[in-house]
Chain A
Amino acid sequence: MRDWRKLVQERLAVQGQNNAIDESVVQELAEHLEDLDTESRGSSLTQDEALRRIERRVGDWLALRQGIEGMRQEGDVQERVKQFWLPSLVTLLVGWGILATLIWAGVHPYMTHPGNPEGLFLYLPWLVALPFVGALGAYIARRAKSQSWKVYVAGAFPAVAMFMVFLLILPWAFVVNPQVAPGLKATSIMANMVSWVVLPGIALGLGVAMQGMGQRRRPAS
């Protein structure tokens, strides 16, 4: 009796490429070929004719492999969107949407040292709302069975995005305005980093952690 698993593995293998096709897929295809073989045993075909008939029923092995891989890649992209990009986008839009609304409503920030660039610049109602935003992002990410680190990054995405902006601004800030003391610029950047990245990040992270604790406490449905 022919080893159909081996035949499937051989036919699906492509030289010089990562040949990892799931074992369950190989097994399933091998079972199908065995059924086709059993079917052709009832006819008067020789072994070679039967094999050729089976090969015709398979079609193009390369197309089969590409179809399976394409499906897997499509699945990976969809998963990434559901597990990471969607919750990240939600936290970013809701987080910065709340801030924009507060600014539009005329809410003034609390400044630790008014007029001093080294002072912190805090929108307290925004900071209070951020744990809820983080929890919302974490809920969406966890529902999509996202990994723990992705849940945290997605939940804290408004702070992560702001950190990226700072990374872009940083080199520029040290090159322009050469008359300003570099020390002053560094402290000002640090203060802004704390106001817009560190504290919002902590608030968002707190929401992510609390959502996780709440979910663990709830009995599984």
Chain B
Amino acid sequence: MIRTELKRGTAELAILSVLESGPLHGYEIGRRIEEQSQGGLRFTLAALYPLLYRMEHRGWLKADWKTGPNGKRRRCYQLTAKGKKMLAPMRAEWADLFRALRRVARVSHA
């Protein structure tokens, strides 16, 4: 249970963070997270989409179908004001958690 919640929390923070720079569609979100985490975080579609829909339903994200330069229609996600508001406390929470873990497990940066 803790593991599931932890994974969901990580994913939510990662999604909100990559969307901070502008709207992205599902594939781009997954790719951006993978790139920025240097392969450390990779979400399957089975993990990514239910989470995106949940975050959209909570009002953290807003999704719209947009036509790209290649004429393809994509469902693009963007942060809402509520989502932006969530980001700072979430970052602080995770920073606290990592600090605590470092103290307990003596984990340090490589």
Query: Which A residues fall within an 8 A CB radius of B?
Result: 24-25, 27-29, 31-32, 35-36, 56-61, 63-64, 67-68, 70-72, 74-75, 78
Contacts and interface: CB of A to CB of B under 8 A. Distances in A.
Contact of B49 (A29, A35, A36, A60): A29
Interface residues of B, number: 19
List the 8 closest pairs (A to B, CB-CB), nearest first: A67-B50, A59-B44, A59-B46, A64-B46, A35-B27, A63-B46, A58-B45, A71-B53
Majority SS of interface residues in chain B?
Answer: helix
B82 to A, nearest CB: 15
Contacts, number: 62
A57 B44 contact: yes
A78 B65 CA distance: 25
A74 B25 contact: no
Contact of A61 (B46, B47, B65, B73): B46
Given A31-B25, A32-B27, A57-B44, A64 B74 contact: no
Given A25-B49, A59-B47, A78-B57, 11 more contacts: A25-B53, A29-B49, A31-B73, A31-B75, A32-B26, A32-B30, A32-B45, A58-B44, A60-B44, A61-B46, A64-B45
Interface in B66-103: 72-75
B53 A68 contact: yes
B45 A57 contact: yes
Contacts of A58: 44-46
10 contacts: A31-B26, A32-B26, A32-B45, A36-B27, A57-B44, A59-B44, A59-B45, A64-B45, A71-B53, A72-B53
Contact of B75 (A28, A63, A68): A28
B85 to A, nearest CB: 19
